[in-house]
Chain A
Amino acid sequence: MSDTLTRQPAALSAEQHILNRHWQTCLVCVAEQQDREAFGELFDHFTPLLRAYSLRAQPGAYLLADELAQDVMIKVWNKASTYKPEMAAASTWIFTLARNSRIDNLRRNSRFVNHIEVEDLWQEPEDPAPSLFEAVQLKRSQKQVRQGLEQLPPEQRHVLAKVYLEGKSHQQAANELHLPLGTVKSRIRLALQKLKLLLIKDVTRP
């Protein structure tokens, strides 16, 4: 059971904050100086996490996990210059690379949609660098999400993990957790509320 659950995030936090800065610096070194030592550090830290991410969705598929990790780490090397430290934490950026790699792999094995250029659907936004105000807002949101995740009740966290780490739809999550769809949806809503990620109630949103 402990294998399927993510670690309790209590241990993250203060030291995590320092570590985050460290990974950010490493990425910038890779981008600017093609620093292999910094890349090596990123590799040692993120590869086991990327393998875990792949294994979460496809348990036992070790070869696939290695493939995903390799694909993502090569992208880290090649695309580090597109990483914007003021927009996202290093782990967020690497998560989006891992997610895209997973989508790409699924698409290649799909019968109908294998001709679709997936990167065009989940591309890095081309927005100009955020203003100081936006950067402060983003930073605050990152902090709220981190603190919110730490305080999330396990059942809400569990549903989020199903969706984010395993790429499960709400319906699939409901089936696997033996819950009604409505319960999964309300847990997700409650979680988003705690993470301050619910947009202001707006009648125009369906």
Chain B
Amino acid sequence: MANHHPNEELLMAYSASSLPISQALCVSTHLEFCEQCRSHTQKLNSIGGLLLESLAPKAGSSKLKGQVMALLDEPRQTQAARPCKTAEVASNTFLIPRPLRQFMSDGYDSLAWGWTAPDIYTSEICRDDNGAQVSLLRINPGGDVGKHSHTGDEYTVILSGSFSDEDGIYLAGDFLIRDKHQQHRPVASKDCACICLTSVEAPIQFTGFFRRWLNPLICKSYQPQSL
């Protein structure tokens, strides 16, 4: 049961589809954990339904109806008929939230994890049009990410394990945003590794004395693609 949630504006932007894919990925992953936010999103969808109803209708060509009616005779696509990437994967994937299953064939271990810093491994899963980098982050038990600030907003959803920072402790399903003005120092709990989904608009900056040397390395691996 998640204790930290996206705010209403973010849920609304998700419901209206005015959210970049990178952020939508974080919100939808949180929704997999959180029934309360799912039900709220359902209610927000009704704004869209009512606004759709209130649009001034724009009648089109009368041929369209004939075309669509003709297509109805084709066999119905059932849910199962959709090529489902999740059907073939191994059973240990059931713990992975649905929106993320498409990025890995067989659980978190099947991802290419790259060493980022002591106790921290990352695996980039996609890059958004706006340049945001979406990755999974694995912190070894008790691992200390180090004090860092952000050059852009950072969205995080805890997938398994837990970590804590100056503001509190975060468990599986929790959703948090750190903006560019906030510094924090997450530390994974000692009992198990912590895996999170993060979306960063721009590379993080380590501010602690010992880890500052990592900044150029991070910037190098980041390399925003030109649009």
A-side residues, CB < 8 A to B, are 2-3, 6-7, 9, 12, 16, 36, 39-40, 43-44, 47-53, 55-56, 62, 65-66, 69-70, 73-74, 77-78, 82, 87-96, 98-100, 102-103, 107, 110-113, 115-123, 125, 127, 134, 138, 141-142, 145-146, 149, 160-161, 163-165, 167-170, 172, 185, 188-189, 192, 195, 197-199, 202, 204-206
Contact = CB atoms under 8 A, between A and B. Distances in A.
Given A74-B68, A146-B46, 14 more contacts: A44-B65, A51-B57, A87-B42, A88-B42, A95-B45, A96-B48, A120-B98, A127-B38, A142-B43, A163-B13, A167-B16, A168-B18, A205-B4, A206-B6
A47 B65 contact: yes
A195 B60 contact: no
A52 B49 contact: no
Given A43-B68, A98-B52, A112-B129, A121 B24 contact: yes
A158 B87 CA distance: 43
Given A78-B77, A113-B21, A113-B126, A7 B42 contact: no
A115 B21 CA distance: 12
Interface residues of B, number: 69
A149 to B, nearest CB: 5
A145 B56 contact: no
Nearest to B75: A78
A69 B58 CA distance: 11
A2 B18 CA distance: 24
A78 B49 contact: no
Contact of A141 (B6, B18, B24, B46): B46
28 contacts: A6-B54, A36-B69, A39-B72, A43-B68, A49-B57, A88-B42, A89-B46, A92-B46, A94-B52, A95-B48, A96-B45, A110-B129, A113-B127, A118-B21, A121-B21, A121-B28, A123-B28, A125-B38, A134-B39, A165-B51, A167-B16, A168-B18, A185-B9, A189-B9, A192-B9, A195-B47, A197-B8, A205-B6
Contacts of B21: 107, 113, 116, 118, 121
Contacts of A134: 39
B129 A111 contact: yes
Contact of A52 (B46, B55, B76): B55
Interface string B59-93: 11100110111011000111100100100000000
B95 to A, nearest CB: 16
Nearest to B225: A112
Top-10 shortest CB links A-B: A92-B49, A48-B57, A91-B49, A95-B48, A52-B55, A52-B58, A95-B49, A51-B58, A164-B16, A6-B54
Given A48-B58, A189-B9, A199-B40, A6 B51 contact: yes
Contacts of A145: 43, 46-47, 50
A73 B43 CA distance: 23
Most buried by A among B57, B98, B102, B126: B57
Contacts of A66: 60-61, 64
B12 interface: yes
B76 A78 contact: yes
Contacts of A102: 17
Contacts of A50: 52
B65 to A, nearest CB: 6
A185 B9 CA distance: 8
B39 to A, nearest CB: 8
Interface in B110-158: 126-129
B149 to A, nearest CB: 16
Given A36-B72, A73-B68, A120-B102, A7 B54 contact: yes
A180 B24 CA distance: 24
